[in-house]
A = this chain, B = another copy of it.
Amino acid sequence: MTTKEVTCTAPVNIAVIKYWGKRDKKLILPTNSSLSATLSQDQLHSKTTIRTDPSFDKDRLWLNGIEEDISKNPRLVNCFAETRRLRQEVESKLQAEGKPVELLSHQKFHVCSENNFPTAAGLASSASGYACLVYTLAQLFELPMSTTELSKIARLGSGSACRSLFGGFVAWEMGTSPDGSDSQAVQVAPQGHWPEIEALICVVSDAKKGVSSTSGMQTTVETSPLLQERLRVVPERMKAMSEAILKRDFPAFAELTMKDSNQFHSVCLDTYPPIFYLNDVSRAIIRIITEYNSGPEGIKAAYTFDAGPNAVIYAPKKNIAEIVQLIAHYFPASNPSEYFKDPYNVLQGTLGQAKPAVEGVLPIFPPGSVKHILHTPVGDGPRILKAEESLLEASGMPKRIKSLL
């Protein structure tokens, strides 16, 4: 019996061809393929420590300092069961060969996971969270499998988690097999292929709580007639998007990104009752970027929106400062020190002082309509950290626990 611990981080990804709809809810098999860029873990990540120890009497999991009941979450149960099953295969094989082996598959875990971005940032944390969980389990168990193989287990936790196992540009191939054996992530291009492309995340205030993506996409599958056409359209978009990335063709990449974001929100609106994620600020950002792109230099930025009002803007590095100034012009800060941190020092000046790239598109919004802007390049896949980065105390309890008062 052995004590063993691994700590890893995994990145956030933002799709440019959107995932919306499952053909199998339990196996999380999608109705269409999707494609994303992985964002830098220097800015945004989930971090997970997993320890196995003979003294642990049950599996326990803390998420952002709050203990969760694993047994009540079938997605967690599936990820643990599948990685344990594969570990047991490894152990049986080594035993049959008479080789030494640590019998980890029957030991209990303590899992501690944290996101370095607040829930209030409105970023889906399930993708990075499940990617990190499954990647860390695979390291702990020393599972002899490719990242693409591993992505199928991450997919059981959260569909888009499979894409967070790679850096760069990543496709989730929907597959056709009913058992999900070919529904997996593959890398389209690594992080270093197109370093010019960066992302700005505009965090938008919204009073209204949106529909969860899990229940929303199911209602779309059940009620939207237009989804059928989307499913016919996506394969050619996947092909065109891969080509645009491989050729580093920003206008083609951007146009497809914007069209696919629009189409995803279209099928949400064609759902009954309709689902809205875009609000007036989101619409205004779309309008401003459309105007910005209509100048003589052509397409300079691409917006995309997930299941919420926040905009993610992909753009070549050289346009980032201009776009930050543009957003700051129409959506002034209510708290300037929190508005834009400028980790890469792109502004080289003061926010809100430069003349905006396009003026008079819309009236200026009330301060705080955009709460802050995060800036991040495209990044790498999950990382294994040093032992001192552990989220667990020597006792096996989390270093940070949130009181539930």
Contacts and interface: CB of A to CB of B under 8 A. Distances in A.
Interface of A: 207-208, 225-226, 228-230, 233, 255, 258-259, 262-263, 265-267, 269-274, 276, 279-280, 283, 286-287, 290, 362-363
List the 9 shortest-distance A-B pairs measured between CB atoms, nearest first.
Answer: A229-B229, A266-B270, A266-B266, A273-B290, A266-B269, A226-B226, A280-B280, A262-B274, A225-B233
Given A225-B229, A283-B279, A269 B269 contact: yes
Contact of A226 (B229, B272, B276, B363): B229
Contacts of A272: 255, 258-259, 262
- Max chain B C-beta neighbours (<10 A), residue from A208, A265, A362: A208
Nearest to A227: B229
A265 B269 contact: yes
A232 to B, nearest CB: 8
28 contacts: A207-B362, A207-B363, A208-B287, A225-B229, A225-B230, A225-B263, A226-B226, A226-B229, A226-B233, A226-B266, A226-B267, A226-B270, A228-B229, A229-B229, A255-B272, A258-B273, A259-B272, A262-B269, A262-B271, A263-B269, A265-B269, A266-B266, A266-B269, A273-B286, A273-B290, A276-B286, A279-B283, A280-B280
A289 to B, nearest CB: 9
A263 B208 contact: no
Nearest to A269: B266
A274 B398 CA distance: 47
Contacts of A226: 226, 229-230, 233, 263, 266-267, 270
A274 B265 CA distance: 11
Contacts of A208: 287, 362
A276 B287 CA distance: 10
Given A226-B229, A362-B208, A276 B283 contact: yes
A225 B234 CA distance: 10
Contacts of A225: 229-230, 233, 263
A259 B274 CA distance: 8
A273 B261 CA distance: 11
A279 B283 CA distance: 9
Contacts of A233: 225-226
A119 to B, nearest CB: 21
A278 to B, nearest CB: 8
A263 B272 CA distance: 10
Contacts of A279: 280, 283
A208 B365 CA distance: 12
A225 B259 CA distance: 10
A286 B266 contact: no
Contacts of A276: 283, 286
Given A207-B363, A258-B273, A266-B267, 11 more contacts: A225-B229, A225-B230, A225-B233, A225-B263, A226-B226, A229-B229, A255-B272, A265-B269, A273-B290, A276-B283, A279-B280
A272 B254 CA distance: 12
A266 B226 CA distance: 9
Contacts of A259: 272
A271 B258 CA distance: 11
A306 to B, nearest CB: 15
The residue in A208, A274, A283, A290 that gathers the most chain B C-beta atoms within 10 A of its C-beta is A274
